Amino acid sequence: CKSSHRHARERVHQLQLQITTLRSRCDGLRAGLEKTELAIGRMKGQMAALEEQQQALDTPGEDLQEELERLLDVQARQEQALETARRKMEAVQHALRELEAKRHENEQVIQTLRNQLEERRLNVQALTLRRNQLREQLNESGFDLQAVLDTLTEDDRPDNMEEELAQIATRIQRLGSINLAAIEEFEQQQERKKYLDEQAADLEEALATLEEAIRKIDRETRARFKETFDTVNEGLQRLFPKVFGGGSAYLELTGDDLLETGVAIMARPPGKKNSTIHLLSGGEKALTAIALVFAIFQLNPAPFCMLDEVDAPLDDANVGRYAAMVKEMSGQVQFIYITHNKLAMEAADQLMGVTMHEPGVSRLVAVDVDEAVALAAL
């Protein structure tokens, strides 16, 4: 590029010298042409004067004729020289125009080369600046240039690396604006994640412990439920004949899962078929319920048991058996029952009655049955 630029510059210099020489010759020819034109003008003036003189004379002399011929011959030579000078001048002007065109063409080539040279110089400056920036970035990132160059292979071509860099730049652009506090936030979130992971581990451990406790409770619940069910069932089977004076009853599970199953009461009063409690009469339901409650109380006696007119649907025979059962179990449980039946009252140790002598005024009357019997014996 530099050699061609120098060659073009030398060529332009030569053309400029030729143009200067031709311009000097052109100026000389132009001056000679002007002198010739002046001489022709003078000769034309002389010829006009001679013609006037010739017209003034009737018979021109031989001298004037010779002078006229001489002047005409000089005029012809001058006109021929003028024409030759004009042709030379036109040739010089044509050559000058061609040289001007070549000079203009060479100047355009030179300007193009200058532009290319300036563009390359700017590219070199940009590459130098980019190289310095990349070196600074490498130093700031803690990388050594030679170490990075050593990692490159023959397959690592600049166009491939630029394409990969463009893809990375596109992904970075999609990420949006840079959060300068991201590192600090990341550290905070990492600490929080660590804390939450520890909490999650503790929760998982606690959950495992709870699940094991639940499984243990389920096992114990199943065992206790089965044990309680069997005990209450045995008590019901024992007490039911006492309450009814015969017959049989038992408890039956409605499902296989002890924690989800229901309990059905199957009863067969004397002289009847075995059926569920729903098919029994009101009195039979009451006696069956009493037998079940007493069986439960035998398993886990409470301080007291309150019964509210459970003997209402019973006849006297069944009330007698009910009273006898209450009497039998009163050694373990204190019974408090509400009744209007005389047989049930006779089985009680203490009677509490409510009377109303006056409208709206209730009065409580307490009677100790043993003391009342003793007083009656007197």
Look up the CATH architecture of domain 2-141: Orthogonal Bundle (1.10)
What CATH class is the domain 230-339? alpha beta
C-alpha 64/C-alpha 230 separation (Å) is 180
Nearest to 305 by CA among 313, 316, 297: 297
pLDDT category of residue 42 using cuts at 50, 70 and 90: confident
Establish how many alpha carbons lie within 13 A of residue 110's alpha carbon, considering only the half-sphere containing its beta carbon.
Answer: 14
Q: Residues 62-76: what's their mean pLDDT?
A: 73
Residues 267-293 have a mean pLDDT of: 83
- 343/182: higher pLDDT: 343
Gap between the Cα atoms of 121 and 133, Å rounded: 18
Please give the pLDDT value at position 8: 65
**Residue 75: CB partners within 8 Å, gap ≥ 6?**
40, 43, 44, 47
Task: State what percent of residues in the chain have pLDDT above 90.
Answer: 5
Q: Which helix (H) or strand (E) holds 130?
A: helix 62-141
With vertex at residue 354, the alpha carbon angle to CA 352 and CA 357, rounded to the nearest 5 degrees, is 140
Inter-residue contact 316 to 344 (CB < 8 Å): no
Residue 329 near residue 297, CB atoms below 8 Å: yes
Instruction: State the pLDDT confidence band at 378, using cuts at 50, 70 and 90.
Output: low
pLDDT (mean) for 9-17: 71
362 pLDDT above the threshold of 80:
yes
Q: By the 8 A CB rule, do 258 and 217 touch?
A: no
- Cα 12 from Cα 19, distance rounded (Å): 10
pLDDT of residue 18: 72
Does the pLDDT at position 58 exceed 60? no
More confident residue, 228 or 9: 228
- Residue span(s) of the chain under CATH 1.10.287 come to 2-141
Greatest mean pLDDT range, 19-28, 190-199, 274-283: 190-199
Which residue's structure tokens are 């031709």?
22
Say yes or no to pLDDT of 363 above 70. Answer: yes
Place of tokens 């000089």: 74
In the predicted structure, residue 1 carries a pLDDT above the cut 60: no
Positions of CATH 3.40.50.300 in the chain? 230-339
pTM of the shown model? 0.44
- Cβ neighbours of 252 (radius 10 Å): 13
